[in-house]
Amino acid sequence: MTTDNATAPDNDYAAYIAGLPRVLSGAAALFLDAGNRVLLVEPNYREGWALPGGTVESDTDETPRMAARRETLEEIGLDVQLGRLLAVDWVHGKARPPIVAYVYDGGVLDEDRLRAIQLQEEELLSWRLVPREDLLAHLPGALGHRVLAALDVLLEGRGTVELENGHRVG
């Protein structure tokens, strides 16, 4: 009897945790060239472009920063120590759970680093450098606004921006 009562709180806690909503996490790196153009990659599995990045793996102890670095290495072949967190975006889901998206400063890529880019052919078709004024034409929905907000805080030297669906809050 004592053993059952001792484990009941653990079972209650496990049931509580199991009943909580699930959230997906993604992380990306914002890379610029000397002209402040943004490096975008073209996935082969969906329409539109994206920043180098992807999903934070939940089956490991991976953090968003670690995921952005891993995905950058996997997708474009560059192992870069990422800079500061530029943006955090809560993106509501309709056919999926909500996403928390993190954007980190990837730094400025000089000509040598740009020539060193090697695309992950299993997922990416191409890459390009895009000026600020053309970003929304390449990046769909909240992603475009997220990248613009992250670019603005980077270029203005401000801290991290909090977003919901790509738009500033607070």
DSSP secondary structure string, 48-91? S-B-SEEEPPTTTT--HHHHHHHHHHHHHS-------EEEEEEE
Q: Is the pLDDT of residue 11 over 90?
A: no
Domains and CATH numbers, the chain: 23-168 (3.90.79.10)
- pLDDT score recorded for residue 72: 97
Q: Is the pLDDT of residue 96 over 80?
A: yes
Share the mean pLDDT of the chain: 92
- pLDDT score recorded for residue 95: 86
Best-predicted range by mean pLDDT among 3-12, 14-23, 114-123?
114-123
Average pLDDT over residues 75-102: 95
pLDDT tens per residue across span 133-144:
999 999 988 999
- pLDDT score recorded for residue 9: 66
- Percent with pLDDT over 90 in the chain: 78
pLDDT tens per residue across span 16-36:
888 877 889 999 999 999 999
- pLDDT score recorded for residue 2: 44
Average pLDDT over residues 43-57: 94
Greater confidence, 47 or 73? Answer: 73
- pLDDT score recorded for residue 161: 97
Give the C-alpha distances (Å, rounded to integers) separating 86 from 8, 12, 52: 43, 38, 15
Q: Is the pLDDT of residue 100 over 90?
A: yes
Average pLDDT over residues 129-157: 96
- pLDDT score recorded for residue 8: 58
Half-sphere exposure of 69 (CA within 13 A, CB side): 12
